A and B are shown apart, each in its own frame.
Chain A
Amino acid sequence: MNKDFENTTELLEKYLQAELSPEEMRHVENRLREDSRLLNDLNNLKMALNAIKLDGLKSEVAEISEAYMAGNRENKNNQNRGKIRSIGYYALRVAALLLIVAGSYLGILYATVSPEKIFAENYFPYELPASRSGSQTSDLEKFYTSSQWNQVLALMEPMEDRTQKELFLGGLSAMRTGKFQYAIKLFEKLLENNKANQEQTYQDGTEFYLALTYIKLGDYDKARPLFQSISKDSRHAYHNQVHAIDLLKLKLLNWKK
């Protein structure tokens, strides 16, 4: 019967997955009783299959953990920003009152709004969570953590072989080096993968940074729907980062075109 199977691994894997006929199952069981090396191979294979499932689950939980921690950091940043904004808000109200007399706040805003300003107000660098005990850190992650953006970008091709995390870090590195068109390419590839696989891997972060990249390149029509959906979704990890005023500014920028 072994001729039906390319090797012992395939035979044992099919045995573990119960994909053999009853006769073949009995044959393997007899061999296992007699051959301690085969039994050892079977136990190693069982552990290998468990390891793959454990690794898959750990990666899923790690992604949720990273998104949760990033959300926490943003909330804290936002609280601080909120304090600054609240002062700014009252200052703006006073200014607005003065501007109503002189003209209109909107007019001033229209005159002063720029993609660079919106970008600078909303952008903050993404930080990878601190390295975990016992976890593996890839070269790409090490380059990202040590701000070696070009080294990260050197590992991006072929794009089809990159994981979602790598595409995300690649897009962020491209932003850091001013290669905004390339950042868009990487982020859009990530979103396309998520759509195809019905996943949400690094979805929130990508939507936020992709919107900022579009703004940087003056493509407000593409940035606005992303900011709108982030602003509407209270569970979006970057929800607190996008405000109604940002949406208004994008509209004004479109009028200025």
Chain B
Amino acid sequence: MNTGGKFSDAELMEAIQKNEGKNDAIRFLYQEYFDSLSSLITYNSGSTEDAQDIFQEVIVSFVQIVQDGKFRGESSIKTFLYALARNTWLNELKRRGRMTQRNKLYEEGRDRFAVPPSEAFENREIRKQLLAAVGRLGESCRKILALFYYEGQSMKEILEQTSYENDQVVRNKKYKCLKQLADLINNDKIIAENLKQIDHEQGF
């Protein structure tokens, strides 16, 4: 395990996959690639804030792709991140509906094979809506769900960090919050439209 400093591509992958030193690996990605990838955005109609947003989104996607075992290492991490950033930024421009002629020309050179088709515009929209749904939960719900499902803490550990009476109360609250989130997702029109679109494209 790399305990800081420089990472090779293989060490980065290992740190992210095994969730050991993952945050050090992410810090390294910022140090190594933020400047070059942010200029990709700012040279193509993006602001500094856009560059920060897109890079953050790219890192989140990259970590998930690696953890899902979908990054096969056919290109270097640098090349992969570059392609991911370029496609994410183009999708964002499309979303904003202000695709300029310059960007269209730029799009002609976009990589077709570096990013899986599943990482397309619709999925990105769904991800945004999913995050928005989590954001609509109350702080206590968000905390319990994150501690249990993201950080993998036990009911007892969660109980120590909250003011609930006992772990059964925490457990009930967790299910109530999970149900609330599932309902928010179920009632989200944008998610429903995008799911229909994906079904349609896949011929279901």
Contact B132 A136 (CB under 8 A): yes
With A9-B182, A13-B178, A133-B53 already in contact, the answer to whether A55 and B34 are too (CB < 8 A) is no
Residues of A within 8 A of B53 (CB): 132-135
Residues of B within 8 A of A44 (CB): 182-183, 185-186
Contact A52 B182 (CB under 8 A): no
Residues of B within 8 A of A40 (CB): 186
Q: Which listed segment binds A: B59-67, B72-80, B102-110?
A: B59-67
Contact A48 B178 (CB under 8 A): yes
Contact B146 A51 (CB under 8 A): no
Contact B178 A57 (CB under 8 A): no
Contact B23 A60 (CB under 8 A): yes
**Minimum Cβ distance to chain B for residue A8 (Å):** 8
Most chain B CB neighbours (cut-off 10 Å) among A41, A50, A68, A200: A68
Q: Does B4 contact A (CB under 8 A)?
A: yes
**B residues 52-93 with Cβ under 8 Å of A?**
52-53, 55-56, 59-60, 63-64, 92
Q: Does B135 contact A (CB under 8 A)?
A: yes
Interface residue count for B (Cβ, 8 Å)? 49
Q: Does B173 contact A (CB under 8 A)?
A: no
Interface string of A56-88 (1 = CB under 8 A from B): 111111101100110000000000000000000
Most chain B CB neighbours (cut-off 10 Å) among A52, A131, A136: A52
Closest to B131 in A: A55
Q: Does A36 contact B (CB under 8 A)?
A: no
Q: Does B27 contact A (CB under 8 A)?
A: yes
Alpha-carbon separation in the docked complex, A49 to B179 (Å)? 11
Alpha-carbon separation in the docked complex, A6 to B53 (Å)? 41
Closest to A55 in B: B134
**Minimum Cβ distance to chain A for residue B24 (Å):** 9
Alpha-carbon separation in the docked complex, A86 to B151 (Å)? 47
**A residues 203-235 with Cβ under 8 Å of B?**
235
Contact A61 B56 (CB under 8 A): yes
Contact A56 B146 (CB under 8 A): yes
Closest to A59 in B: B146
Alpha-carbon separation in the docked complex, A56 to B55 (Å)? 17
Q: Is the interface of B mostly helix, strand, loop or mixed?
A: helix
Q: Does B26 contact A (CB under 8 A)?
A: yes
**Minimum Cβ distance to chain B for residue A127 (Å):** 13
**Minimum Cβ distance to chain B for residue A138 (Å):** 8
**B residues 111-169 with Cβ under 8 Å of A?**
126-128, 130-135, 139-140, 142-143, 145-146, 149-151, 161, 163
Residues of A within 8 A of B191 (CB): 47
Residues of B within 8 A of A160 (CB): 163
**Minimum Cβ distance to chain B for residue A49 (Å):** 6
Q: Does A45 contact B (CB under 8 A)?
A: yes
Contact B135 A136 (CB under 8 A): yes
Residues of A within 8 A of B181 (CB): 48, 51-52
29 A-B contacts (beta carbon < 8 Å): A45-B178, A45-B182, A47-B126, A47-B191, A49-B178, A51-B134, A52-B145, A52-B146, A52-B149, A52-B150, A53-B150, A54-B127, A57-B63, A57-B64, A57-B150, A58-B60, A60-B26, A61-B60, A64-B23, A64-B26, A65-B55, A65-B59, A129-B52, A132-B52, A132-B56, A135-B53, A136-B131, A158-B163, A161-B163
Q: A130-B49, A197-B161 are in contact. List 17 more A-B contacts (CB 8 A).
A: A6-B175, A9-B178, A9-B179, A10-B175, A41-B182, A44-B182, A51-B134, A52-B149, A56-B146, A60-B23, A61-B26, A64-B26, A65-B59, A130-B48, A133-B50, A136-B132, A161-B163
Interface pairs A-B: 9 shortest CB-CB = A56-B150, A136-B135, A51-B130, A44-B182, A55-B134, A48-B181, A48-B182, A68-B30, A9-B179
